[in-house]
């Protein structure tokens, strides 16, 4: 095959119902092979910098650009796709998912030590058996996740399995392949022909909190801790779902640690790192039990600063020869032990259970207790979720309770200390009227949640606006609780759309707001107009539409105009959208008040569609449009806001200065006028094509 650039060809490319005319440069097979190999090397290198070393050298956008080029090339040259290509991390659910896999050597567990005395006893046993005074030990963090075995054949990732009963686990290859810190190919030569590594797959505390937020939004049961969430993620049937969970992994062991030609665990860990594997950097070699105590002490204190949860420290005899001499019991090696941190549960006394009204009107009982210090911070409250939870735990006002932090972040009441009951405790009764507006509270049979039924409930309005302006949504900096409360109290806003009609003078009415603060908030409001469609959809606060579902919907429908016309059937076609979400979306857009808010947002210039930015260019720069009639389900305001965002001008009346009249369905008299003036008329479809949206 010649390596010269061959011909350019044009083809029609069908994408999401839209037709694109695309130029595809077909280069010679050899050139493609070289470029593909180069791109894979680059992507692997940068992935390694980012996911393993946590030290990226290029921006996400640059990385995405390389990935896009590789995807394009592989699409053209199917024959060059290999299973270890960075594009192949996420595939279709394989048939072999969760089938039994026999481990190459038993996957052992560890004995636990719950005190320094027990650690000291372990050291005694080890030194005693070896007949030595001292022995080198390696201290590692005990990351709280799920044990996995990852097998490489001649350097290539081929399989991953859970621990199971230690002899046989379940095949989770497709899911582990989505973990970006697992190299699809090990670095270096002279690798063992078959190498089964062991490590811990885990989720960060942040991801755990995010997953639970999303689950709460969808009224699903919550994961108790990151470990359960990680286990759930590994057992997803569809690897695409696992990929979204952003699992990570630390490798610390193998079915045979001598295979890398090393003599000790410390060296072994260094070798793993050389192979491109992710090894926890917080390790220490010590030569006395005091050294172990110091390491445990240090991390018992610092554990809360880590982005992932640890539940202890693993102490291992460094020398592999000594490990062999010490041997193992049926369950665990005699050369290692897990020191478990004391459970971080403290007692406190519940002084009050108050009800918070959320943005869906849901009444959430929250326990307020005496301040206690836990997992690095002072905690005074925890959600009790709903009435059933309170009954299940039998929590009463005045009760002494055990409090902990789920996943090291979310405070929760674990249990009541019943032995401390005096009889003076009071049962909590869910109010039958809303504590904020007095509206009636209803709990639909079969649902766990009680709700205020007043759609104009000020608490709901407040929470909705706060949510809309919040980080994950339109991200309006400076628009926090106090500002929103005052704007509502002063009648300056009634719903989210009013935010965009505030002027600077109005903002000066906010307490402690001088010119500068008003200016900043005004600027933040302005810049929020261009947030992505997904953020807007999330910000609207449609029930069951969390941040992730909002992204899915934005990806599929590209604009509010199209989304709001979607039927339940169309929504159900979208992966990840079930009947609950579909019905909720349709209900939302059926509500007249919601449509009014959306109209007002569009008129204010809030971005209502996605594709425009992807196209990037200001394609309407210098052009003046007049819109008449409706186009693809978008109102005139939405079309006008799109025109503005693409750099054009939207005018209300046809004149000689008009460049185009966009005539949708049911055009008015403007069409005639345009005809008289000889102005070019675009159909809705022509207009959308020009805007890069169809
Ligand atoms: S060594 C034979 N090292 O803790 C060696 N385990 O309670 C066995 N774990 O099953 C494991 N961090 O899933 C080892 N640095 C670490 C670890 C670790 C977490 C997990 C592992 C093991 C469990 C034992």
Give residue-wise pLDDT tens across range 467-507: 999 988 999 999 999 999 999 999 999 999 999 999 888 89
Name the residue ranges covered by the structural domains of the chain: 3-88, 112-340, 346-415, 458-528, 533-603, 612-690
The finding on whether 144 has its CB within 6 A of some atom of ligand 1 is no
- Token pair 């491109």 is at which residue? 276
The tokens for 40 are 């894979």
Atom of ligand 1 nearest to the CA of 144: 19
Pocket test for ligand 1, best of 310, 314, 326 (most atoms within 8 A of CB): 314
Q: Looking at residue 395, what DSSP letter applies?
A: -
The finding on whether 108 has its CB within 6 A of some atom of ligand 1 is yes
Rounded Cα gap, residues 105 and 613, in angstroms: 54
Cα 166 to middle of ligand 1, angstroms: 12
Atom of ligand 1 nearest to the CA of 280: 15
The finding on whether 201 has its CB within 6 A of some atom of ligand 1 is no
Rounded Cα gap, residues 436 and 442, in angstroms: 15
Which long-range contacts link 108-111 to residues 24+ away (Cβ below 8 Å)?
Answer: 108/166, 108/328, 108/331, 108/332, 108/333, 109/166, 109/331, 109/332, 110/314, 110/332, 110/333, 110/336, 110/337, 110/338, 111/329, 111/331, 111/332, 111/336, 111/337, 111/338
Domains 3-88 and 112-340 share a fold: no
- Name which residue sits closest to atom 9 of ligand 1, judged by CA: 142
Fold for the domain defined by 612-690: Rossmann fold (3.40.50)
The finding on whether 336 has its CB within 6 A of some atom of ligand 1 is yes
- Name which residue sits closest to atom 4 of ligand 1, judged by CA: 142
Q: Which residues of 71-82 are buried (b: 16+ CB within 10 A; e: fewer)?
A: eebbeebeeeee
The finding on whether 197 has its CB within 6 A of some atom of ligand 1 is no
Fold for the domain defined by 458-528: DNA polymerase; domain 1 (1.10.150)
Question: Which CATH architecture fits 533-603?
Answer: Orthogonal Bundle (1.10)
- Token pair 């996400």 is at which residue? 60
Nearest to 226 by CA among 244, 214, 210, 238: 210
The finding on whether 142 has its CB within 6 A of some atom of ligand 1 is yes
Atom of ligand 1 nearest to the CA of 200: 13
65 Ramachandran zone, left/alpha/beta (phi>0; psi -120 to 50): alpha
- Name which residue sits closest to atom 19 of ligand 1, judged by CA: 142
Atom of ligand 1 nearest to the CA of 333: 2
Q: Where are the alpha helices (DSSP H) in 564-603?
A: 568-572, 579-590, 592-603
Cα 247 to middle of ligand 1, angstroms: 17
Give, in words, the CATH class of 112-340. alpha beta
The answer to whether 262 and 85 have CB atoms below 8 angstroms apart is no
- Token pair 């939207």 is at which residue? 650
Rounded Cα gap, residues 494 and 480, in angstroms: 16
Cα 198 to middle of ligand 1, angstroms: 9
The finding on whether 257 has its CB within 6 A of some atom of ligand 1 is no
Q: Which CATH superfamily is domain 3-88 in?
A: Helix hairpin bin (1.10.287.610)
The finding on whether 109 has its CB within 6 A of some atom of ligand 1 is yes
Nearest to 417 by CA among 327, 347, 357, 512: 347
Phi, psi of 390 (to 5 degrees): -65, -40
The answer to whether 347 and 366 have CB atoms below 8 angstroms apart is no
How high is the pLDDT of residue 23?
34
The finding on whether 200 has its CB within 6 A of some atom of ligand 1 is yes
Question: Which CATH architecture fits 346-415?
Answer: Beta Barrel (2.40)
The finding on whether 338 has its CB within 6 A of some atom of ligand 1 is yes
- Name which residue sits closest to atom 21 of ligand 1, judged by CA: 147
The finding on whether 333 has its CB within 6 A of some atom of ligand 1 is yes
Rounded Cα gap, residues 322 and 335, in angstroms: 8
Nearest to 348 by CA among 369, 332, 325: 369
Cα 110 to middle of ligand 1, angstroms: 7
How high is the pLDDT of residue 26?
55
- Name which residue sits closest to atom 17 of ligand 1, judged by CA: 142
Phi, psi of 431 (to 5 degrees): -65, 150
Rounded Cα gap, residues 198 and 150, in angstroms: 6
Atom of ligand 1 nearest to the CA of 112: 7
Cα 379 to middle of ligand 1, angstroms: 31
Q: Report the length, in residues, of the chain.
A: 694
217 Ramachandran zone, left/alpha/beta (phi>0; psi -120 to 50): alpha
Cα 146 to middle of ligand 1, angstroms: 9
680 is an active site residue: no
The answer to whether 626 and 662 have CB atoms below 8 angstroms apart is yes
Structure confidence by residue, pLDDT tens digits, 623-670: 899 988 877 777 777 788 888 878 888 888 888 889 999 988 877 788
Residues of the chain with pLDDT under 50: 1-25, 612-615
The finding on whether 148 has its CB within 6 A of some atom of ligand 1 is no
Give the torsion sign (CA, 620, 621, 627, 633).
positive
The answer to whether 257 and 320 have CB atoms below 8 angstroms apart is yes
The finding on whether 202 has its CB within 6 A of some atom of ligand 1 is no
Rounded Cα gap, residues 59 and 285, in angstroms: 36
The finding on whether 143 has its CB within 6 A of some atom of ligand 1 is yes
Cα 109 to middle of ligand 1, angstroms: 7
Q: Which residues contact 236 (CB under 8 A, 6 or more apart)?
A: 175, 242, 245
Q: In what order do the strands lie in the sheet with 112-113?
A: 112-113, 336-340, 310-317, 137-143, 284-286
Q: Is residue 484 classed as helix, strand or coil in its secondary structure?
A: helix
Q: Is residue 354 classed as helix, strand or coil in its secondary structure?
A: strand
Phi, psi of 184 (to 5 degrees): -80, -15
Cα 161 to middle of ligand 1, angstroms: 15
Cα 433 to middle of ligand 1, angstroms: 52
The finding on whether 269 has its CB within 6 A of some atom of ligand 1 is no
Please identify which of the residues 34, 38, 102, 142 carries the catalytic annotation. Answer: 142
What is the CA 665 to chain-centroid distance, rounded?
40
Nearest to 174 by CA among 54, 92, 60: 92
How high is the pLDDT of residue 594?
93
Phi, psi of 342 (to 5 degrees): -60, 140
The answer to whether 292 and 113 have CB atoms below 8 angstroms apart is no
Cα 299 to middle of ligand 1, angstroms: 17
- Name which residue sits closest to atom 23 of ligand 1, judged by CA: 109
The answer to whether 641 and 659 have CB atoms below 8 angstroms apart is no
Beta bridge partners of 113: 339
């Amino acid at each position: 095959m010649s390596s010269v650039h061959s011909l350019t060809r044009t083809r029609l490319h069908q994408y999401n119902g839209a037709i694109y005319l695309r130029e595809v440069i077909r280069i010679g097979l050899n050139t493609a092979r070289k470029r593909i190999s180069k791109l894979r090397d680059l992507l692997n290198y940068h992935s390694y910098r980012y996911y393993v070393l946590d030290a990226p050298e290029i921006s996400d956008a640059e990385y995405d650009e390389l990935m896009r080029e590789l995807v394009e090339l592989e699409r053209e040259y199917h024959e060059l796709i290999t299973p270890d290509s960075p594009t192949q991390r996420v595939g279709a659910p394989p048939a072999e998912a969760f089938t039994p896999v026999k481990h190459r050597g038993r996957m052992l567990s560890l004995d636990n030590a719950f005190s320094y005395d027990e650690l000291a006893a372990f050291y005694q046993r080890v030194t005693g058996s070896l007949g030595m005074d001292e022995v080198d030990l390696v201290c590692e963090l005990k990351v709280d996740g799920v044990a996995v075995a990852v097998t490489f054949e001649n350097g290539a990732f081929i399989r991953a399995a859970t621990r199971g009963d230690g002899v046989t686990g379940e095949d989770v290859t497709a899911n582990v392949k989505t973990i970006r810190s697992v190299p699809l190919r090990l670095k270096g030569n002279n690798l063992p022909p078959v190498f089964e590594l062991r490590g811990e797959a885990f989720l960060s505390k942040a991801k755990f909190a995010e997953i639970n937020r999303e689950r709460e939004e969808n009224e699903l049961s919550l994961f108790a801790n990151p470990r359960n969430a990680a286990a759930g993620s590994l057992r997803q049937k569809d690897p695409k779902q696992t990929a979204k969970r952003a699992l990570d992994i630390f490798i610390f062991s193998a079915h045979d640690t001598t295979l890398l030609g090393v003599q000790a665990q410390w060296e072994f860990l260094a070798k793993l790192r050389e192979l491109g594997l992710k090894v926890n950097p917080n390790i220490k070699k010590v030569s006395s039990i005091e050294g172990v105590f110091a390491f445990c002490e240090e991390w018992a204190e610092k554990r809360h600063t880590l982005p992932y949860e640890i539940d202890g420290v693993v102490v291992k005899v460094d020398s592999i020869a000594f490990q062999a001499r010490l041997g193992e019991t049926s369950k665990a090696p005699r050369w290692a032990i897990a020191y478990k941190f004391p459970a971080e549960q403290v007692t406190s006394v519940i002084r009050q259970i108050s009800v918070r009204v959320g943005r869906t009107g849901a009444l959430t009982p929250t326990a307020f207790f005496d301040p206690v210090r836990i997992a690095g911070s002072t905690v005074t409250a925890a959600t009790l979720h709903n009435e059933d939870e309170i009954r299940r735990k039998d929590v009463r006002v005045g009760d002494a309770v055990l409090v902990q932090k789920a996943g090291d972040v979310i405070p929760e009441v674990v249990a009541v200390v019943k032995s401390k009951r005096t009889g003076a405790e009071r049962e909590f009764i869910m109010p039958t009227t809303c504590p904020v507006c007095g509206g009636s509270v209803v709990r639909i049979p079969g649902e766990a949640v009680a709700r205020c039924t007043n759609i104009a409930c000020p608490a709901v309005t407040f929470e909705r606006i706060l949510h809309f302006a919040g980080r994950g949504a339109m991200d309006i900096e400076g628009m926090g609780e106090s500002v929103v409360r005052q704007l509502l109290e002063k009648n300056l806003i009634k719903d989210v759309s009013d935010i965009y009609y505030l002027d600077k003078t109005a903002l000066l009415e906010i307490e402690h707001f001088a010119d500068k603060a008003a200016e900043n908030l005004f600027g933040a409001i302005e810049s929020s107009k261009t947030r992505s469609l997904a953020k807007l959809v999330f910000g609207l606060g449609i029930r069951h539409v969390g941040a992730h579902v909002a992204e899915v919907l934005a990806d599929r429908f590209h604009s509010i105009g199209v989304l709001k016309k979607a039927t339940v059937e169309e929504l159900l076609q979208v992966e990840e959208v079930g009947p609950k979400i579909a019905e909720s979306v349709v209900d939302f857009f059926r509500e007249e008040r919601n449509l009014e808010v959306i109209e007002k947002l569009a008129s204010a210039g809030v971005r209502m569609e996605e594709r425009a930015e992807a196209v990037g260019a200001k394609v309407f720069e210098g052009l003046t449009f007049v819109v008449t009639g409706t186009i693809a389900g978008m109102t005139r305001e939405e079309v006008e806001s799109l025109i503005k965002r693409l750099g054009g001008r939207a005018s209300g009346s046809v004149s000689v200065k008009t460049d185009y009249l966009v005539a949708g369905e049911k055009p008015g008299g403007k069409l005639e006028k345009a005809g008289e003036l000889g102005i070019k008329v675009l159909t809705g479809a022509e207009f959308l094509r020009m805007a890069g949206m169809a």
